């Protein structure tokens, strides 16, 4: 038979149908195991694609009290699991050795207690957290359930980064609050510590306000202000001492006042409901100029009507500003595009004109070669013609033959014809060098001076010919 001490040991065996990954935590009465659901058919192997779940497994075997507690929590969560800020229940049952368990949504980012151990929250973050958990509490209270154990370790951070209210293990109906089932002293309301009630909507709001105070200060209100040495001294501080002043100059007075009222020792001075507390935080957000967190609860507007109309007006004005800015930017882009288009068209036109001008210019290889004027005299590949006068049988003394072209190599004296009025013995006067045409020889006459006639011409004497 298993003893009570043995049944209180941490359990490492997951329920049937779940594969153990690791142990992730536990409390006084239960352990929390990270498990992977197994497929319905064992031969199919582990469901590697299934999301891990948190299995809350009782350390005690199923006696009447333990079984009733787990059944109640399962029933509460089943009624509330549709709310986005309440941890979702995925299943429940009893292990082979008689331990009840709950399969819950796994929150991979830990709890608010883990975050508070390394940092404090800004006023805007604190108000956002308060509105979201107020929506979860409002949903629970309207269903007839009080949580009675709100504390940082029971506010988890889901995979989406949003808070989840968890651990309804000591939750009870609103009308069963006279039964005390346990509490956490740093977060419990004075009337709960004094034993006047087991929990109520007002005590739930007190606990939530104590958590928000701690998010700003780093510790629960009376631990922050008085640093008690033990739990008994802490209880006396909660019951007898005034609420410590929050030494955060960046905290708006409206937020400090809302927390002060909700942490009042008199439940009557606290907000009437979680809805009223959430509205106070939303108005504070509006006064700070930060985005207003919507309140999520069935049948309740996300924000007050006045704030909703103002938000709609602000949103409309913001959209109009964005539209005007977009239109101005479009006009600017259009004019800039027009200028660029005109420049591009001008450049294209200039390129076309330049191309046509280039095509119209004569090319060097298309200029016709000038006519070559042949110099008088014999050619290289042609024999020198011998022009003779036609014979006249009636003329007894035929004239000697006269060459048609002067001899370029030199003119013999006996071949030079005589002028009509000149005696053979009279020499031909020699021209001065200045009378010679450019080029210095007979070949240049026809090339550079086309006015000089071709054919037989009077040649200078042999003394005037340059060698």
Residues 209, 259: one domain? yes
- CA distances 136 to 53, 98, 321, Å, are 21, 32, 36
Residues 124, 97: one domain? no
- Find all residues with CB under 8 Å of 308, minimum gap 6, and list them: 301, 302
Domain boundary among the residues 105, 120, 153 is at 105
Closest CA to 154 of 125, 128, 186, 180: 186
Alpha-carbon distance of 88 to 161, in angstroms, equals: 15
Parent domain of 46: 7-105
Residues 52, 84: one domain? yes
Q: What is the pLDDT along the chain (467 residues), one digit of tens a residue?
A: 343 344 455 566 889 889 999 998 877 778 899 999 987 544 444 444 478 999 999 888 877 777 777 787 788 788 888 899 999 988 888 888 888 898 999 999 999 999 999 999 999 999 999 999 999 999 999 988 899 999 999 999 999 999 999 988 665 554 444 444 568 999 999 999 999 988 999 999 999 999 999 999 999 999 999 999 999 999 999 999 999 999 999 999 999 999 999 999 999 999 999 999 999 999 999 999 999 999 999 889 998 887 766 655 555 555 666 667 766 766 666 667 778 778 888 888 888 888 888 777 765 555 555 555 555 555 555 454 444 444 444 445 555 545 444 544 444 444 445 545 545 555 555 555 454 444 444 434 333 344 444 444 444 444 444 44
Q: Mark residue 144 as left, alpha or beta (left: phi above 0; alpha: psi -120 to 50; beta: remaining).
A: left
In a domain, 176, yes or no: yes
Domain boundary among the residues 105, 138, 167 is at 105
- CA distances 224 to 183, 217, 262, 310, Å, are 19, 7, 17, 38
Residues 185, 200: one domain? yes
Helix (H, G, I), strand (E, B) or coil at 297: coil
In a 10 Å sphere around its CB, with 0-12 CB exposed, 13-18 middle and 19+ buried, how is residue 193 labelled? middle
Please provide the DSSP assignment of 322-382 as one string: HHHHHHHHHHHHHHHHHHHHHHHHHHHHHHHHHHHHHHHSPPGGGSPPPPPPPPSS--SSS
In a domain, 155, yes or no: yes
- Find all residues with CB under 8 Å of 450, minimum gap 6, and list them: 373
Count of Cβ atoms closer than 10 Å to residue 432 Cβ: 8
Whole-model pTM?
0.63
In a domain, 435, yes or no: no
Alpha-carbon distance of 199 to 148, in angstroms, equals: 5
Count of Cβ atoms closer than 10 Å to residue 112 Cβ: 22
**56 known ligand binder:** yes
Residues 80, 224: one domain? no
Closest CA to 197 of 223, 217, 179, 221: 179
In a domain, 398, yes or no: no
**DSSP H or E segment with residue 257:** helix 253-262
Residues 138, 90: one domain? no
What CATH number should be reported for the domain holding residue 282?
A: 1.10.510.10
Residues 130, 233: one domain? yes
Residues 241, 131: one domain? yes
User: Which two structure tokens, joined as six digits, stand for 49?
Assistant: 């694609």
The pairing of strands 163-165 and 155-157 is: antiparallel
* Domain tally, the chain: 2
DSSP H helices, 8-63, are none
**DSSP H or E segment with residue 137:** helix 123-143
Task: Identify whether the C-beta of residue 109 lies closer than 8 Å to the C-beta of residue 24.
Answer: no
Closest CA to 285 of 269, 263, 313, 304: 304
Task: Identify whether the C-beta of residue 373 lies closer than 8 Å to the C-beta of residue 388.
Answer: no
Please provide the DSSP assignment of 51-117 as one string: PPEEEEEESS---HHHHHHHHHHHHHHHHHTTSTTBPPEEEEEE-TTS-EEEEEE--TT-BHHHHHT
DSSP β-bridge partners for residue 444: none
Closest CA to 263 of 244, 278, 236, 282: 244
Residues 62, 36: one domain? yes
């Amino acid at each position: 038979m298993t003893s009570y001490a043995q049944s209180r040991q941490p359990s490492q065996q997951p329920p049937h149908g779940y594969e153990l990954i690791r142990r992730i935590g536990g409390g006084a009465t239960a352990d929390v195991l990270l498990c992977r659901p197994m497929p319905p058919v064992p031969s199919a192997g582990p469901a590697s694609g299934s999301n891990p779940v948190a299995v809350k497994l009782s350390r005690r075997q199923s006696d009447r009290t333990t079984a009733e507690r787990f059944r109640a929590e399962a029933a509460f969560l089943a009624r509330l699991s549709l709310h986005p800020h309440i941890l979702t229940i995925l299943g429940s049952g009893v292990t082979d050795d008689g331990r009840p368990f709950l399969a819950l949504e796994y929150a991979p980012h830990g709890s608010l207690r883990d975050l508070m151990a390394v940092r404090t929250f800004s006023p805007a973050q604190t108000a956002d957290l308060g509105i979201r958990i107020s929506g979860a509490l409002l949903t629970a209270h309207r269903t007839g359930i009080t949580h009675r154990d709100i504390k940082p370790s029971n506010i988890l951070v889901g995979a989406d980064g949003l808070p989840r209210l968890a651990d309804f293990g000591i939750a009870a109906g609103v009308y069963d609050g006279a039964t005390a089932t346990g509490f956490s002293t740093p977060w419990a309301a004075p009337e709960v510590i004094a034993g006047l009630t087991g929990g109520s909507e007002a005590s739930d709001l007190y606990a939530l306000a104590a958590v928000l105070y701690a998010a700003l200060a780093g510790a629960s209100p009376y631990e922050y202000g008085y640093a008690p040495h033990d739990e008994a001294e802490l209880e006396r501080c909660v019951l007898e001492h005034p609420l410590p002043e929050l030494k955060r100059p960046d905290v708006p007075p409206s937020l400090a006042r809302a927390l002060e009222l909700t942490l009042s020792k008199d439940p009557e001075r606290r907000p009437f409901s979680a809805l009223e507390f959430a509205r106070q935080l939303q108005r504070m957000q509006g006064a700070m100029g930060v985005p207003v967190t919507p309140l999520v609860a069935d049948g309740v507007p996300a924000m007050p009507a006045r704030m909703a109309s103002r938000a709609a007006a602000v949103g409309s004005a913001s959209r109009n500003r964005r539209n005007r800015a977009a239109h101005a930017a479009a006009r600017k882009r259009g004019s800039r595009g027009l200028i660029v288009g005109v420049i591009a068209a001008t450049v294209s036109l200039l390129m076309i004109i330049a191309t046509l001008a280039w095509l119209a210019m004569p090319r060097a290889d298309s200029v016709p070669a000038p006519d070559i004027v042949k110099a008088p005299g014999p050619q290289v590949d042609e024999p020198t013609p011998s022009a003779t006068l036609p014979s006249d049988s009636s003329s007894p003394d035929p004239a000697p033959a006269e060459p048609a072209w002067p001899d370029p190599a030199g003119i013999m004296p006996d071949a030079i014809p005589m002028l009509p009025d000149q005696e053979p013995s009279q020499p031909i006067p020699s021209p001065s060098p200045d009378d010679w045409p450019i080029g210095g020889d007979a070949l240049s006459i026809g090339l550079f001076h086309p006015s000089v006639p071709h054919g037989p011409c009077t040649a200078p004497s042999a003394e005037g010919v340059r060698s």
